[in-house]
């Protein structure tokens, strides 16, 4: 007998012969008649109402055809865990040591029933399999984030979002309530925040990065905020579903919307209309030298603390641009008076001062990993988003960590190939990639790993204007993350998860939850090793049971083309075209890659300067895998260096005649990616002494032009060598005309071709 289709999959399932007919449930029996048991019983009673009224009682009257709910703190069941036995004595037994455990046991029972019950309809199928489930989560923190600053979502959708979180046995709702594009919570002491800071001019018709500023005599009309009564309503709704709400109030940066109402709290004291679109670099910041700022923030946090009974307050702390702090007399005075080294330590001082207030009010502080800069506040919890490095550093220092790296947990990123998808913030985070996430980095020891509380999926809403699109971005990636956080990474294969997801999506349909169909794109990837003196290409997709058909003759694949059955050997320049075929019809667009066979393909590359892990391409083989990147920086085929130069040596394994070396670079000014200023090619027979072959100067293309792949070629070399050194100088700093003037530049490279 196969396991039931559950997500997240429980820790343990034992299947027994036979089935239990839920139509036969005559009553729900409470062992202790406690509040937790009563609340759980009402969930079952309401869910099973289409089948018939089921009474709730505390008298067993025998056990047959009864649903027994037992909450005992003495049970040897982990916090949030439960035991669910179906069919024993022709009854159902749900046991837990906490009320949350009972709630999650109900969610499991719910997923075992016919999906039509989600619409409160009488189901055609009323049987569920007999089994024994013992279950508990791997991680205590299982969160979902929602940004309501960029686009405001009403209370109705917030409750739906909470329902989605609860369905997946997640237990934290991180509510991003303030940011540059709008303040979203009523603060009684500062009405200007909702009168002015919550509203901006409507630029929804413009691309996010191109929203035009407010015009003279134009009134802000787009936005909104939650009243304190609405906050209490949402908090109660979440509490009933065992979800902790963590409010985020940004500081010291991402605060320009505040200065629409209270400009005196900034360094330059200017009134700033709430920005209708992209705002980067976000230089406007709370003045760290002004004591009135801390009075203001403490008054706000005082009201926030009263509204949210959970343990945590999130204060942001990310992307705090310190340009104005460097020139502000008050901030410089603060640095001198406090004996601080620089503006980074000033940020640390700022965060620590806020932390003292939060601790005094019996709360804990959470911040994005930038709060590490200048020294971490003593008891702060770090939310590691810029990769995993911040989490590793924090855990090693004995601080609690929540993992949410952009690589796996940013659901505003594309979930299908970027070149084939609608607008998103960027990135490429497929369902399969989310499912591969492990919140515990391998660099941590067992003891250090104990500081990893769990993980979180983040939905930023620059490109998410409606509730349907918010659901579409989140689902089904939330399902993948929920299983990682509850069951544990690697417990099941992606294929196993995928087949269960197909059944769970039937439930999404009944609930009218929008969800993405996933990626139908065929991924064309190099094998990471050579074998049989050949180089191989692998074809994969997120649809494990669907046929991939491909061609190597330049023609588009059809139903008659070769079905992929294993890695394809490449020994000459080859164009591969591939597509999924479902029910004998092409599904999705055709993927196409040309694999350029050349002398360096598959050879060893030595990196004198390592690329950033965030932009590692396909790993060490990226520069010699025969595959060039698209014009999308995060398509998985580019490697990136932040401020550093590219400096690599390729070992061709033998001395050979070399006539040409070329290298591809990406230019994408909107993403801080610039061409190198200079590229040099040097050659050696021993790998120690190199002779310069050619040096080529490179100039920037059109300012803020469209993304562009730029090829640098060293032609007519006529040299013999075994080793080839390629160096490319990073511009290092964005030029004055760029919106990020003074910021670090990126250098992106895809392939070094040697002929």
Measured from the Cβ of residue 19, the count of other Cβ atoms closer than 10 Å reads 16
Helix, strand or coil, per DSSP, at residue 173:
strand
Gap between the Cα atoms of 624 and 632, Å rounded: 19
The DSSP symbol for 603 reads -
82 contacts 135 by C-beta, under 8 angstroms:
yes
Q: How far is CA 11 from CA 8, 81, 146, 439, 501, in A?
A: 9, 10, 29, 18, 17
* Phi, psi angles (nearest 5°) of residue 257: -65, -30
Q: Which of 392, 389, 386, 416 is CA-nearest to residue 404?
A: 386
3-state secondary structure of 497: helix
Tokens of 687: 């790998």
Query: Could you check whether the bond before residue 252 is cis, i.e. omega within 30 degrees of 0?
Result: yes
Catalytic residue among 168, 174, 254, 399: 254
Q: Which residues of 375-404 are buried (b: 16+ CB within 10 A; e: fewer)?
A: bbbeebbbbbbbbbbbbbbbbeeebbbbbb
Phi, psi of 133 (to 5 degrees): -115, 125
200's tokens: 């901006």
Residue 201: left if φ>0, alpha if ψ -120 to 50, beta else—which one?
A: beta
479 within 8 A of 435, measured Cβ to Cβ: no
Q: Which residues contact 281 (CB under 8 A, 6 or more apart)?
A: 319, 321, 323, 739, 740, 743
Q: Which residue from 174, 100, 141, 80 is spatially nearest to 400, judged by alpha carbons?
A: 141
Tokens 């705002």 -> residue: 279
Q: Which helix (H) or strand (E) holds 30?
A: strand 27-30
Classify the C-alpha dihedral 382-387-392-393 as positive or negative: negative
Structure tokens at 343: 């503006």
Secondary structure element (H or E) that encloses residue 403, with its range: strand 401-403
DSSP state of 106: H
Helix/strand/coil for 84: strand
Locate the DSSP E strands across 602-707. Answer: 604-607, 639-642, 646-658, 661-667, 678-684, 691-697
Verify whether residue 90 is a known catalytic residue.
no
Q: Which candidate, 177, 209, 374, places its Cα nearest to that of 278?
A: 209
Element (H, E) at 159: helix 155-167
Active site residue 645: no
Structure tokens at 214: 């407010």
**Sign of the C-alpha dihedral, residues 728, 729, 734, 736?**
negative
What whole-number distance in Å separates Cα of residue 392 and Cα of residue 401?
A: 8
HSE of 171, CA atoms in CB hemisphere, 13 A = 21
Lookup: tokens for 528: 């990471």
* Catalytically annotated residue among 319, 592, 645, 713: 319
413 is catalytic: no
Residues 179, 373, 412, 483: which is the catalytic one? 179
Report CA-CA distances (Å) from 2 to 13, 14, 233, 407, 435. Answer: 10, 10, 42, 33, 22
Q: Which of 158, 67, 70, 138 is nearest to 109 (CA)?
A: 67
Does residue 471 sit in helix, strand or coil?
Answer: helix
Q: What is the CA radius of gyration of the chain?
A: 29
- Contact between 534 and 566 (Cβ < 8 Å): no
Distance, in Å, from the CA atom of 259 to the CA atom of 290, rounded to the nearest integer, reads 14
Helix axes 477-486, 467-474, angle to 10 degrees: 50
What are the residue numbers of the active site? 179, 254, 319
């Amino acid at each position: 007998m196969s396991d039931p289709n559950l997500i997240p999959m429980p820790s343990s399932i034992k299947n027994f012969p036979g089935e239990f007919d839920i139509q036969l449930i005559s009553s729900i029996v409470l062992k202790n008649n406690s509040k937790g048991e009563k609340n759980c019983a009402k969930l079952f009673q309401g869910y099973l109402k289409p089948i018939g009224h089921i009474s709730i009682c505390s008298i067993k009257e025998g056990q047959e055809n009864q649903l027994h709910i037992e909450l005992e703190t003495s049970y040897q069941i982990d916090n949030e865990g439960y035991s669910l036995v179906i069919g024993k004595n022709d009854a159902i037994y749900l046991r837990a040591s906490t009320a949350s455990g009972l709630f999650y046991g109900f969610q499991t029972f719910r997923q075992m029933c016919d999906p039509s019950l989600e619409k409160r309809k009488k189901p055609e199928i009323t049987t569920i399999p007999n089994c024994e489930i013992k279950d508990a989560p791997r991680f205590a923190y299982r969160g979902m984030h929602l940004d309501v600053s960029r686009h405001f979502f009403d209370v109705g959708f917030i409750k739906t979002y909470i329902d989605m979180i609860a369905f997946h046995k997640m237990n934290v709702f991180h509510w991003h309530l303030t940011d540059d594009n709008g303040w979203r919570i009523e603060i009684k002491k500062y009405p200007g925040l909702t009168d002015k800071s919550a509203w901006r001019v409507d630029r929804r018709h413009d691309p996010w990065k191109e929203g035009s500023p407010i015009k003279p005599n134009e009134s802000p009309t787009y936005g909104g905020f939650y009243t304190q009564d609405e906050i209490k309503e949402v908090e109660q709704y979440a509490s009933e579903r065992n979800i902790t709400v963590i409010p985020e109030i940004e500081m010291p940066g991402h605060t320009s919307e505040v200065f629409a109402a209270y400009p005196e709290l900034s360094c330059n004291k200017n009134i700033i209309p709430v920005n209708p679109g992209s705002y980067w670099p976000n230089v406007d910041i709370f003045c760290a030298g002004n004591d009135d700022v801390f009075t203001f923030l403490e008054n706000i946090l005082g009201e926030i603390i009263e509204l949210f009974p959970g343990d945590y307050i999130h204060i942001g702390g990310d992307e705090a641009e310190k340009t104005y702090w460097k020139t502000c007399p008050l901030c410089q005075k603060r640095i001198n008076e406090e004996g601080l080294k620089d503006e980074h330590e000033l940020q640390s001082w700022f965060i620590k001062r806020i932390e003292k207030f939060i601790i005094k009010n019996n709360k804990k502080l959470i911040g994005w990993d930038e709060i590490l800069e200048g020294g971490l506040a003593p008891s702060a919890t770090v939310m590691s988003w810029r990769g995993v490095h911040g989490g590793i550093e924090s855990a090693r220092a004995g601080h609690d960590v929540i993992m949410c790296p952009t690589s796996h947990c940013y659901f505003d990123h594309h979930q299908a190939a970027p070149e084939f998808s609608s607008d998103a913030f960027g990135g490429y985070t497929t369902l399969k990639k989310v499912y591969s996430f492990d919140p515990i980095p391998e660099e941590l020891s067992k003891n250090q790993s104990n500081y990893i509380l769990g993980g979180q999926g983040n939905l930023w809403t620059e490109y998410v204007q409606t509730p349907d699109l918010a659901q579409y971005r989140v689902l089904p990636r939330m399902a993948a993350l929920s299983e990682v956080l509850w069951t544990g990474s690697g417990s099941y294969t992606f294929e196993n998860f995928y087949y269960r997801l197909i059944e769970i999506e039937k439930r999404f349909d009944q609930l009218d939850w929008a969800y993405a169909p996933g990626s139908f794109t065929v991924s064309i990837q190099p094998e990471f090793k050579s074998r049989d003196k050949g180089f191989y290409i692998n074809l994969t997709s997120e649809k494990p049971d669907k046929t991939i058909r491909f061609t190597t003759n330049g023609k588009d694949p059809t139903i008659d083309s070769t079905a992929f059955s294993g890695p394809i050997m490449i020994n000459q320049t080859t164009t591969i075209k591939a597509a999924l075929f479902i029910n004998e019809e092409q599904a999705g667009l055709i993927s196409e890659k040309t694999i350029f066979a050349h002398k360096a393909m598959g050879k060893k590359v030595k990196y004198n300067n390592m690329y950033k892990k965030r932009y590692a391409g396909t790993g060490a083989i990226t520069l010699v895998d025969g595959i060039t990147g698209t014009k999308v920086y995060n398509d998985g085929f580019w490697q990136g260096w932040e401020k550093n130069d590219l400096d690599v040596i390729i070992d061709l394994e033998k001395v050979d005649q070399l006539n040409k070396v070329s290298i591809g670079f990406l230019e994408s000014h909107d993403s801080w990616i610039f061409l190198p200023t200079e590229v040099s090619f040097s050659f050696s027979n021993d790998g120690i002494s190199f002779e310069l072959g050619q040096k080529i100067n490179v100039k920037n293309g059109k300012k803020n032009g469209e993304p562009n792949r730029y090829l640098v070629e060293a032609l007519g070399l006529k040299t013999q060598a075994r080793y080839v050194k390629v160096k490319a100088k990073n511009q290092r700093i964005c030029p004055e005309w760029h919106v990020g003037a003074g910021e670090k530049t990126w250098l992106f490279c895809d392939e070094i071709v040697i002929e």
